[in-house]
A and B are shown apart, each in its own frame.
Chain A
Amino acid sequence: MQPKMIPALALALCGIWVAGCATRPSDSETERAVAEMIKASFKTRGQATVARLNQDDAQALCSKHAGELPKDVSDGIEKAQQATIRYPSSGKLMGDWREGERIAQSGVGKQFTDAPTRPAGGSCYNCHQLSKQELSFGTIGPSLYQFGKQRGASEAIQKYTYGKIYNSQASTACSNMPRFGHNGVLTEEQITHLVALLLDHDSPVNK
């Protein structure tokens, strides 16, 4: 290559580099595009209204910090979510584990294809191992087999378990697990049945 061509080549490369950079949209451009898509690409169907796409504080923070969750953000979420937990007025946290098993098996609820009048299930087996008999279990969450056998069923454990199902993010910010009580997916009573499934001595989970 002749020496006088070098500056020309450098200039050309520079041009390509600049063009390359110019084609990368900024964060704010991307945010605008996403906001536009959230508005224009979805439609209300049945119970699944477009209002569901409006994020609450936890959802917005968890989306924003999907890569890495800073400690102060995580602490803030847990504190705010802890304050949402409502315990049953009866004070009874342990229901019927048989009911709990039915709720744990059921994956229906809140989809636009689900009847809104039908109570939602907990979809527990979708992500967790629970009883030994059920082979079709997911692994997104930890195995809960022998959950109660390992922890006992003291009042403190009952309260912890109820709270975890009511609002998983009270103890683990941005947990993958839905906030079943807080978001109105499961009733307080349904949650007590799940507490029993996890903690009752006679539950298949603890066999």
Chain B
Amino acid sequence: MRIDRVLAGVLAATLPCLSPAQQDTQKEIERYRQMLQESNPAELYEARGEELWKTRRGPRNASLERCDLGLGPGVVKGAYVRLPRYFADTGRVQDLESRLGTCMVTLQGFTPEEAGRKPFSGTGAPMITTDPFSGVGQRSVMTDLVAWIASESRGMTIAPSVSHPKERLAYQAGERLFYYRAGPYDFGCVTCHGEEGKRIRLQNLPKMTNAKDAQRAFGTWPGYRVSEGELRSMQWRMWECVRQMRFPELEFASDASIALITYLAKQAEGGTFDAPAIKR
């Protein structure tokens, strides 16, 4: 609840200066958001990611430049807005992060365990621990790559593929998972994202069945989170929501994570992609 306190502080500090008509919590939150947009450290991640794409790494000492993200080997421009999608070589529906893992294995010769290691960044050197939060000083190769590849779809229309039977199945399973309530708090995704115009503390919650909300939400991940000083990916967003739902840990690049992302991408279809964004 750190950032809620920061926000509350911002509000407490600015409220006395405003006329009663302006003392509207919502407006102040919007103002805070706009202040954040002015400079986005995501650019640093994007630059590192572009470099990493071309860097020879792994047992095969190969770059990722021939990685097929769905639009053909090496095509990065526009790849993010067409994902998740079905890939015949793996027989799976894959999102960007899962697909990058595949390429790290097939092109660079990493083991699947190595490719999935350290999926989310801390700060510092890349890829050492398996824990996204402990291990101070760890940067994530995956996160850097995701930042750059996502940025190469900026301004494009979100258009995931749901024509292949497996894509359709992932979408339908993702929808079911969205409504799946369980655990000691009885939570599901729908608890926070089923109604319009709601907040947790001061944080606005998108209603994922509402196209406009879903477009804004999906279209702004990955995002640089000011509260954490880190860039976070869509896989991380799923992982973190699921943690807060009091569920067991959602495995990185698992079928459930990809099904949820497929569902959300489809809900956001037609929206304009504008990420990596900057967030609270």
Give A residues with C-beta under 8 Å from B: 22-25, 29-31, 33-34, 36-38, 40-45, 48-50, 52-55, 58-59, 62-63, 66, 107, 110-113, 125-127, 135-140, 169, 176, 178-179, 183-185
Contact A66 B246 (CB under 8 A): no
Could you tell me if B251 and A43 are in contact, using CB atoms closer than 8 angstroms?
yes
Q: Which residue of B lies closest to A42 (CB)?
A: B248
Partner of B12, one of A33, A112, A127, A135: A135
Interface size on B, residues (CB 8 A): 56
Q: Which residue of A lies closest to B195 (CB)?
A: A140
- The minimal Cβ–Cβ distance linking A110 to chain B, given in whole angstroms, is 5
Instruction: Tell me if B37 is interfacial: C-beta within 8 Å of chain A.
Output: no
Interface residues of B (CB under 8 A from A): 1, 4-5, 7-8, 11-12, 25, 133, 163-165, 168-170, 172-173, 176-177, 179-188, 190-192, 194-195, 197-203, 205, 242-244, 246-251, 254-257, 259
Whether A33 lies near B169 (C-beta < 8 A) is: yes
- Closest CB in chain B relative to A191 CB, distance in Å: 15
Known contacts A33-B173, A140-B191, A183-B184; 15 additional CB pairs below 8 A are: A37-B173, A37-B256, A41-B255, A42-B250, A42-B251, A48-B247, A48-B248, A52-B182, A66-B190, A107-B1, A111-B246, A176-B194, A178-B184, A178-B186, A183-B185
- Interface majority SS (helix, strand, loop, mixed), chain B: mixed
Task: Point out the residues of chain B lying under 8 angstroms from A113, CB to CB.
Answer: 133, 243
**21 CB < 8 A contacts A-B:** A23-B164, A33-B259, A36-B255, A41-B250, A42-B242, A42-B254, A48-B247, A48-B249, A52-B184, A63-B179, A63-B182, A110-B184, A110-B185, A111-B246, A125-B201, A135-B8, A137-B201, A140-B198, A178-B185, A183-B184, A183-B185
